[in-house]
Amino acid sequence: MDKPAMVYLLSDSVGETAEYVIKAVATQFRSPFEIKRFPYIKSIKDIEQAILMAKENSAIVAYTLVVPDLKEYIDQKSYEYGVEAVDLLEPLLNAFKKKTEEEPINEPMLMRKLDKKYFRKVEAIEFAVKYDDAKDAEGIMLADLVLIGVSRTSKTPLSMYLANKGYKVANIPLIPEVPVPEQLMNVSKKRCVGLIIRPDTLNEIRKERLKSLGITSDTAYVNLQRIFNELDYAEGIMKRIGCPIIDVSNKAVEETADYIMKVLNIERRI
């Protein structure tokens, strides 16, 4: 069996995408190919070692570097050593430059940074679903932020909105007949926000909620005195924790989220 031809892949990141490109090309040939990755190329020394190995093994060099000095050094050394070197990004970079009339940033690992943001968002959304509405009190100590308030104070939509910004959020409903989780009384006031609302506004929201469910509004859930009692109870818990309290009456979720990040001095993640 013929010895496989070698392709040395030099990348300033992991090199996964470039490997797929090389494999796609290799499938068009009957001769066997073997790919060896050289990830996280950061210096001239890294390049020197790879080019020398490529010369010794008669390998093709394919690279996906974006730093101009390193690209120039690969071209120079591969020419000196008689090694075939192919820049996989240059043709497309030039096409983008021509189309956008912009110069590329030439910063390594930007794709990896984007991936991290994406996976952080996915993880945060999964967290918000898992720890929504006090499903599991353990989430209180794991969360970046804990939202507390009576029913229908936008805790869930606010949790999901903040999750899309990369924050792990747990939310806990405050109900007079239900003891608050022990973990809540130990949470840092810098990681907790209390949500309050005007009684009349809450009354209307709850009426609309019951109507959408086809339930009569003649229940304690919409009773004004009951609502006053719930809000008093909730505010008492919030004051014991010492957390910021935000009135969400007639506020959009986005507005409340921005206010929370400002009050708690939270940096944007995504």
Write out the DSSP string of 182-216: GGGGGS-GGGEEEEE--HHHHHHHHHHHHHHTT--
CA dist list (Å): 269 to 58, 158, 162, 182, 252: 46, 16, 10, 29, 21
Query: 150: annotated binding-site residue?
Result: yes
Q: Does 78 show up as a binding residue in the annotation?
A: no
> 118-263 in CATH: which number?
3.40.50
On whether 82 is known to bind a ligand per the annotation, the reply is no
Phi, psi of 130 (to 5 degrees): -65, -40
Taking only the tens place, the pLDDT of each residue in 56-96 is: 999 999 999 999 999 999 999 999 999 999 999 999 999 99
* pLDDT tens by residue, 161-211: 999 999 999 999 999 999 999 999 999 999 999 999 999 999 999 999 998
Q: Do domains 5-108 and 118-263 have the same CATH topology?
A: yes
Query: How far is CA 245 from its chain centroid?
Result: 27
Confidence band for 251, pLDDT divided at 50, 70 and 90 = very high
Q: Would the annotation count 154 as a binding residue?
A: yes
What does the block give as tokens for 252? 């959009």
* Sequential DSSP letters for 81-119: TT--EEESSHHHHHHHHHHH-------TTHHHHHHHHHH
Given a cut of 60, is residue 1 above it in pLDDT?
no
Report DSSP state, residue 4. P
Answer for the pair 196, 243: CB distance below 8 angstroms, yes or no: no
Residue 152, marked binder: yes
pLDDT digits (tens, 9 = 90+) for 10-60: 998 888 888 989 999 999 999 999 999 999 999 999 999 999 999 999 999
| Domain range list for the chain | 5-108, 118-263
156 is in an annotated binding site: yes
Q: Is 178 annotated as a binding residue?
A: no
What's residue 159's pLDDT?
Answer: 97
β-strand pairing of 145-149 with 60-64 = unpaired
Q: Has domain 5-108 been given CATH number 3.40.50.2300?
A: yes
| Total-model pTM | 0.63
